[in-house]
Amino acid sequence: MQERLSMRKFIDVLRLRHEAGLSHRQIAASLQISRSTVSDYLAQAHAVGLPYPLPAGLTEEELAAKLHRRPTVLTPPVADKMLPDYARVHEELRAHRRFNLTLDLLWREYKEQHPDGYQYTQFCEHYRRWRRIHLDPIMRQTHKGGERLFVDYGDGLYLIDASTGQRVLTQLWVGTWGASNFTFAEATLSQALPAWVMSHVHAFEYFGCCPAVVTPDNLKSAIAKACAYEPDINPTYAELSRHYSFAVVPARPAHPRDKAKVENGVLVAKRWILAALRHQTFYSLEDMNRAIRQLLERLNDRPMRKVRRSRRELFLELDRPNARPLPPAPYVFAEWKRPTVNIDYHIEVDKHYYSVPFRLIHQVLDVRLTATTVEAFLKGERVAAHARSYVPHKYTTLPEHMPSDHQKHLEWSPSRILDWAAKMGPSTVALVQRILENRPHPEQGYRACLGVLRLSKHYPTARVEAAAWRAVQFNTCSFKSFKSILLRGLDRLGPIEVQATRTKGVHGNIRGPRYYN
């Protein structure tokens, strides 16, 4: 239609033509519309077989629905012409998109077998009509085989915590292939980074192959900073993509249709998996995923209503042959951190201190943290590697990381720290000396000494000196004990009160050394 008119004006066109017998020119002049619009409306009413007068009780909405459902004008099939197998034509187009297969080439192959068959225009029109009838909107969104996997989360089932009896809502991770709709689903306790990454690993193991592109949503575990043009990918997720050689192309923010495949996949998984398990009680994630896996197999083997083929059949035909193979080694989950090297040439990772070459003092390193190893990188080059330790506030030091001459290579040294302590008083010097002597390497005590000396910015020098004296007297020579003395005000106790504290509890009921002679 040339102009978009209301159904009321459409009815007026029919009335003036059939009841008043006016010409197209007269109708156009009467209704202030063009003659071509009058012709279009009359032709449209004829195409759908709309009678006049209109049926009684026909509303404007029903009239609009009749007009929008008008059939495509096609040459009726001729009895002696062979109608192409459009189901095979459609599968050929989907399976061989990488060859840029077109309808023109398929029509030429059809004409070679049936010289007196349909010409190209009718061949295409019949195919489009077949596609509208036999395919739903999801299947029209065609993708190259093996190209893309869509991933997302949905609310899962409730898990019963055996220790507390409380219900814990799980998350349902779903991955759906673009070409075949082949689906993987599993339950996780959260959408945190470890669960997000390992669900990908489990999905790739289930598929036995990898896609070229993964399209996630913009959750923090995948995208550190969402942007429609240059999103920042989470470092761990980026490492996963490099390991499996796939590209991360996230959906645009607030555009769920960019990942419509998995949106529908989540709905299907809830309908055919979670709904079937809604009356069961689970006390462990393993039991829940075992039940989900059984129903997942049934879902992938179930024929889809419109295409009359299962997801597994389409996956083995379209996605699996064109997907990428799995890498030889399985992926090992790793987190990335960016600590700064301290003056003692150690970095703090998960409350433990690991040494790096002393020349990297004050540098910011990229640290890869796995369950068993800690690796430090500077501009992509590995500069240190350690076995991971879970003992907090301890040091792991390699001798080759230590400088041969601290006076030449380090800005800080034991003598400089002692000189700074001397400004506070002799007790502070004694405390710092004890801290340095109690470490296997003096450099490991630098951090604690600096903490002691920097407290002088918050407390008067007299109190710092008194607290240091008390720490030395009671042999509690550590930064934590020193700070606790200041916080609790114990530095205000004089020598007599300290002596009283030492002899507290000495009375006649306690046996002396002569008792045992």
108 and 179 assigned to the same domain: no
In this structure, are residues 194 and 333 in contact, taking their beta carbons and an 8 Å threshold? Answer: yes
211 and 191 assigned to the same domain: yes
400 and 420 assigned to the same domain: no
**Nearest CA among 85, 91, 129 for reference residue 107:** 85
CA distance 141 to 157: 30
In this structure, are residues 200 and 151 in contact, taking their beta carbons and an 8 Å threshold? Answer: yes
Q: Which residue is listed with tokens 């993987």?
A: 184
278 and 198 assigned to the same domain: yes
Residue 185's Cβ-count burial label (10 Å; 0-12, 13-18, 19+) is: buried
Sign of the torsion angle spanned by Cα atoms 341, 344, 346, 352: negative
Residue 119: which domain range? 86-134
Average confidence score pLDDT of the chain:
81
Give the tens place of pLDDT for each residue, 141-171. Answer: 567 888 889 999 999 999 998 888 899 999 9
CA distance 479 to 481: 6
Residue 41's Cβ-count burial label (10 Å; 0-12, 13-18, 19+) is: buried
Is residue 510 included in any domain, yes or no? no
**Nearest CA among 83, 129, 142 for reference residue 107:** 83
Last-in-domain residue among 378, 407, 436 = 407
CA distance 367 to 386: 11
CA distance 237 to 193: 8
Which residues make Cβ contacts (< 8 Å) with residue 387, sequence separation at least 6? Answer: 372, 373, 374, 396
Last-in-domain residue among 407, 437, 460 = 407
197 and 257 assigned to the same domain: yes
* Domain count within the chain: 5
CA distance 37 to 44: 10
**Nearest CA among 169, 148, 174 for reference residue 159:** 169
* CATH number for the domain harbouring residue 240: 3.30.420.10
Is residue 42 included in any domain, yes or no? yes
Is residue 420 included in any domain, yes or no? yes
Token pair belonging to 404:
């041969």
Is residue 350 included in any domain, yes or no? yes
Give the tens place of pLDDT for each residue, 475-491. Answer: 888 888 888 888 888 87
In this structure, are residues 240 and 222 in contact, taking their beta carbons and an 8 Å threshold? Answer: no
Chain Cα centroid distance, residue 190: 12
363 and 262 assigned to the same domain: no
Specify the pLDDT at position 494. 64
CA distance 42 to 32: 16
Is residue 139 included in any domain, yes or no? no
Last-in-domain residue among 322, 353, 385 = 322
Is residue 207 included in any domain, yes or no? yes
Is residue 306 included in any domain, yes or no? yes
Which residues make Cβ contacts (< 8 Å) with residue 517, sequence separation at least 6? Answer: none
453 and 372 assigned to the same domain: no
Specify the pLDDT at position 333. 84
Model confidence, pTM = 0.50
245 and 380 assigned to the same domain: no
All residue ranges of the chain with pLDDT < 50 are: 1-5, 70-75, 136-140, 406-410, 496-505
What count of other Cβ atoms lies within 10 Å of the Cβ of residue 52?
12
Specify the pLDDT at position 454. 84
Segment holding 76, helix H or strand E: none
366 and 458 assigned to the same domain: no
Specify the pLDDT at position 5. 44
What count of other Cβ atoms lies within 10 Å of the Cβ of residue 374?
22
What count of other Cβ atoms lies within 10 Å of the Cβ of residue 136?
12
367 and 437 assigned to the same domain: no
CA distance 10 to 382: 75
* CATH number for the domain harbouring residue 14: 1.10.10
H-state helical runs in 119-192:
120-134, 137-140
399 and 447 assigned to the same domain: no
Specify the pLDDT at position 404. 66
349 and 297 assigned to the same domain: no
Is residue 507 included in any domain, yes or no? no
Sign of the torsion angle spanned by Cα atoms 143, 147, 153, 159: positive
